[in-house]
């Protein structure tokens, strides 16, 4: 059977194989699906070099790091700098692809430089809404500049989608937002490898344990932990729960009385075997929370905010328990049993189904 596409280019935020999180898993799925319909597929991303092509020395790294922290206060979302990287632009132009898939809005300049016959725009997160939530959590000048960035990003998102063959979103609610703007967006949920859908049996002494597993290098997760401590901890303890926290840099958190820190987790199944439910006290960040799906894929129910579940269709939300971020009452919470990992609501999140849906979309759009 002849290939549907000759050459394809995937433009990623960073190396999708260097670490494992929702964004990299999504990019891997995109690359894998395109490889099955293209004769040749390349994935490009910034490689940590400066725009001049020279590695940064320690002093420059320190200065850049300080500027980035300051920038994030006033402009929480990435800028278009990556799309202006001349080295990457030349690389994308030289690829001369038939199809370019761009996985992050800030690199639309690279996608345009590749001048593809077909353009696919994928929204891992809808940055205009992300920035709007950041603005609501800030004060003074930082709130005003965050709102301005949100409006600017909304314009960029519209421009990016105007001539795209395909527009996809990881988040259910993000997809709904784009459709309200008149954009023909399709919900394509973040996938997990099929083999990760395995039920993890609860181990322990019968104590009811609620756990929060996250990468605390990511500031929305640090913010979520703050809300866990300030808003949920006392009601959970009063209701007879024990609370544990784990993940990258969890050992650097301020751990109050009533919380046990497990530190970094080598095997996430060990964490899920220790908890009855996982917690998602989030109100910042992107629209699709991969940790929610990861918990369900191990059979562990989730207690989360409305925003934690907003990235998923209504039928999946029934597998968890939604509570407000503030004024939460855990004493009347129903008994949450282990989730059936074969539940039909989880099917769209399997890698095999992700690739099957994506292949169908590409074939339909290219051949129509």
pLDDT, tens digit, 9 for 90 and up, residues 119-160: 999 999 999 999 999 999 899 999 999 999 999 999 999 999
Task: Say yes or no to pLDDT of 56 above 70.
Answer: no
**Are 179 and 239 in a shared domain?**
no
**Are 221 and 239 in a shared domain?**
yes
**Are 215 and 102 in a shared domain?**
no
Predicted local distance difference test score (pLDDT) of residue 52: 36
Show the domain range for 133. Answer: 5-191+350-367
Alpha helices in the chain (DSSP H): 22-35, 58-74, 86-95, 108-114, 127-136, 140-161, 172-180, 219-227, 233-238, 268-274, 290-297, 306-309, 314-317, 351-367
> For the domain that residue 302 is a member of, what is the CATH number?
3.40.50.2000
**Are 186 and 232 in a shared domain?**
no
Predicted local distance difference test score (pLDDT) of residue 87: 87
**Are 234 and 341 in a shared domain?**
yes
Token pair 């590409």: residue: 362
**Are 96 and 26 in a shared domain?**
yes
Rounded CA Rg of the chain: 21
Interatomic CA distance for residues 250 and 263, integer angstroms: 5
Interatomic CA distance for residues 231 and 229, integer angstroms: 6
Q: Are 187 and 175 in contact (CB under 8 A)?
A: yes
pTM: 0.88
Q: Are 36 and 125 in contact (CB under 8 A)?
A: no
**Are 68 and 174 in a shared domain?**
yes
Number of compact structural domains in the chain: 2
**Are 25 and 161 in a shared domain?**
yes
């Amino acid at each position: 059977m002849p290939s549907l596409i000759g050459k394809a280019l995937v433009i990623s935020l960073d190396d999708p194989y260097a670490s494992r999180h929702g964004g990299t898993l999504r990019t891997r799925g995109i690359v894998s699906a395109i490889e099955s319909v293209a004769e040749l597929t390349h994935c490009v991303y910034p490689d940590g070099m400066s725009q001049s092509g020279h590695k940064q020395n320690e002093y420059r790294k320190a200065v850049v790091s300080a500027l980035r922290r300051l920038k994030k206060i006033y402009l929480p979302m990435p800028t278009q700098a990556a799309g202006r990287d001349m080295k990457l632009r030349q690389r994308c132009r030289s690829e001369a692809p038939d199809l370019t898939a761009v996985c992050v809005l800030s690199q639309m300049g690279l996608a345009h430089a590749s001048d593809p016959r077909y353009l696919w725009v994928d929204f891992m997160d809808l940055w205009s809404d992300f920035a709007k939530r950041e603005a609501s959590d800030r004060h003074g000048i930082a709130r005003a500049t965050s709102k301005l960035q949100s409006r600017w990003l909304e314009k960029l998102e519209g421009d990016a989608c105007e001539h795209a063959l395909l527009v996809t979103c990881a988040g259910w609610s993000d997809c709904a937002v784009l459709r309200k703007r008149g954009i023909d967006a399709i919900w394509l949920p973040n996938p997990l490898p099929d083999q990760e859908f395995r039920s993890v049996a609860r181990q322990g002494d019968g104590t009811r344990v609620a756990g929060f597993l996250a990468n605390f290098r990511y500031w929305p997760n640090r913010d979520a932990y703050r809300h866990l401590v300030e808003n949920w901890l006392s009601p959970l303890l009063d209701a007879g729960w024990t609370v544990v926290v784990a993940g990258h840099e969890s050992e650097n958190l301020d751990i109050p009385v009533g919380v046990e820190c497990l530190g970094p987790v080598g095997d996430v199944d060990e964490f899920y075997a220790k908890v009855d439910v996982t917690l998602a006290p989030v109100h910042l960040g992107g629209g699709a929370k991969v940790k929610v799906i990861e918990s369900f894929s191990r059979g562990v129910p989730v207690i989360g905010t409305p925003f934690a579940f907003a990235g998923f269709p209504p039928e999946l939300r029934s597998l968890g328990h939604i509570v407000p971020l503030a004024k939460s009452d855990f004493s009347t919470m129903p008994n949450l049993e282990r989730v059936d990992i074969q539940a039909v609501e989880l099917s769209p999140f399997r890698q095999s189904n992700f690739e099957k849906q994506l292949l169908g979309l590409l074939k339909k759009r290219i051949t129509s």
